[in-house]
Structure 1
């Protein structure tokens, strides 16, 4: 979006905003970092307040070990033509990254030396499959989600930290709705808490949440009040424990308006209730910062909730696609034009 600068004072204000962050007095602000990149980062994996990974367009993977003061390009050279949409990191050295696309464009890469070298751990050989996101239940057990193949969503699983992957049988998966799919918008369409996992959908007649309580072998599905459509539905999930979840979404075609596009669950995803005061605009990423505090981001701004997702307040107007927080409350956001920021 183009900003119309009418005076030199306005120009100076925008420059200061870009370099120092933005806050409305609610205690939260983004501090933008200089990534030296123009890629769009939809994959984001903070490890701590100082270590974080980001993955995005043109095969770009960045890593910082100094809190964002410097970023190093560490992506696999053979993936330069691919689109990374998710990355999961366990340390400054170990990360697992997903590229998206039909057929062989859906791949998973792993590194255990900080990105100095990468191993292609999985390459999709089914032209009907399209993998959207990845989650890890612990340091060894992980799941990846594909859009429906033969009428059912497909799960890919690893038991060795991402080194090898196997396609799970779909016998424990409910049927997909006509036109239903998941959104590869921020690496958070599939999430987990312990042995519990969830994924969210749109595209069909109803935006739904699938839940597994046995590590991704069997799934149940629940309809939600979040509106669904050809490009609408739930884009992001966050669960702080096996019971408390938040869903956000909308329609990326109309990002400025998104009624009923935020919802909460207190029973592990069995029931969902629309937020009492929602962002009101399309949001592609959501994350818990603490027991009661959560953040949501999208191309038109960022919002904070201090009551577990029931009410939201805008605190930033910049564009971000993804948000993620560590267990200690260190939060990061990433998006278009190389934008990566820390919450302060």
Structure 2
């Protein structure tokens, strides 16, 4: 994340009892000390992770063994904030940085070799997130250049990219940039695309369905109508805003806060029950700044992570409660996380965890 700001937590106040859940992250051996920001679970035991100093990791057995990949050429000092994988052999990693330090590398042989497929052509640009809807269609979100957010589209698996020019992508009054914290600023739901900014949600919709023979992809891009709305998330400083967005069915969840004040729970989560048309602040907030959020369809709950802990919601983001380590978990099993692609979570110093079934307990406490 750079200092500019913009694009696409539970403090318990109980009187007698608080519903808690024990932390269920099994810590895995990554064989790296890199700060991990990107994680993508492909399924079938295959997942890819990425981070600082050109680090890329891969597992084919559900995380039992993480392979250290070959560093892409010229990338040993790059920060891979995003990874999008397609199978056990094919993946794209995105580095975030000013100008040509924002790059895309692609592998098709299980990360033995890499090809530089795209470099940020704008010296003032800075990429924040990458998201693929299919193996062919993908998007890159970048900080504003000339007061316009950068949105790039590909329709050939990332080999070629084109700029999306829309008046609705103009930065709000006062300017700002995006937070490249967990590669989760973009949500793609055909034919809709949503992106988050410091305190804003950008939503674009198209009236054509991409993929039909009679529809050229460019025609769909031209029909996107981007609009923005202010979300009830903390945004009163350069270090505060929306850091992650996730959607399941009609529900959308946004989380964030102030990363310089990680224990502050004010303005850390909001929810929308109608695909982003109306937003509400969470009634019970995560207990600190949160950098990533995701929905676990198996356990039917939302989960959000950050440096000071993990929280879950079983009512579509209205209320959050913390996960706490059990007697058999490491004392910090719930803490120091950056990004999610369930069941995996990654963090600083090569930290990787895998979610196991959450055992919820009710802890009776006395009045404060």
Q: What is the TM-score when the length of structure 1 is the normalising length?
A: 0.86
Q: Are the structure 2 counterparts of residues 89 and 177 from structure 1 closer, same or farther at C-alpha, using a change threshold of 3 Å?
A: farther
| 1:1-344 matched pairs, under 5 angstroms | 26=21, 29-48=24-43, 50-74=45-69, 75-202=71-198, 207-214=199-206, 217-228=224-235, 229-241=237-249, 243-290=250-297, 292-316=300-324, 317-325=334-342, 331-344=343-356
Contact residue 147 and residue 170 of structure 2 kept, 8 A? no
Q: What's the CA shift string for 1:58-96, capped at 9, x where partnerless?
A: 010000111212111114142111000011112111211
Unaligned 5+ segments in structure 1 are 1-23, 326-330
Bigger drift between 174-183 and 152-161 goes to 174-183
Contact 2:166 2:226 in 1 (8 A): no
- SS class of match (2:74): helix
Residue 49 of structure 1: CA displacement?
A: 5.7
Contact kept in structure 1, 2:89 and 2:108, CA below 8 Å: yes
User: Once the 2 structures are TM-superposed, how far is the Cα of residue 180 of structure 1 from its aligned partner?
Assistant: 2.1
Alpha-carbon distance between aligned partners in 2 of 1:93 and 1:49, rounded to the nearest angstrom: 13
- SS of residue in 2 equivalent to 1:79: coil
Gaps of 5+ in 2: 1-18, 207-219, 325-333, 357-368
What whole-Å deviation, never above 9, does each CA across 1:243-290 have from its counterpart, x for those lacking one?
311000000110011312100012221221011111130000001111
Larger radius of gyration: 2
User: Taking structure 2 as the reference length, what is the TM-score of the superposition?
Assistant: 0.81
> Size of the alignment, in residue pairs?
311
Separation of aligned partners in 2, 1:301 and 1:27 = 12
TM-aligned CA deviation for residue 172 of structure 1: 4.5
Could you say which structure has the greater relative contact order, defined with CA pairs below 8 angstroms and 6 or more residues apart? 2
Deviation (angstroms), 1:173: 2.2
SS in 1 for 2:169: coil
Partner SS for 2:311? strand
Secondary structure, counterpart of 1:320 in structure 2: coil
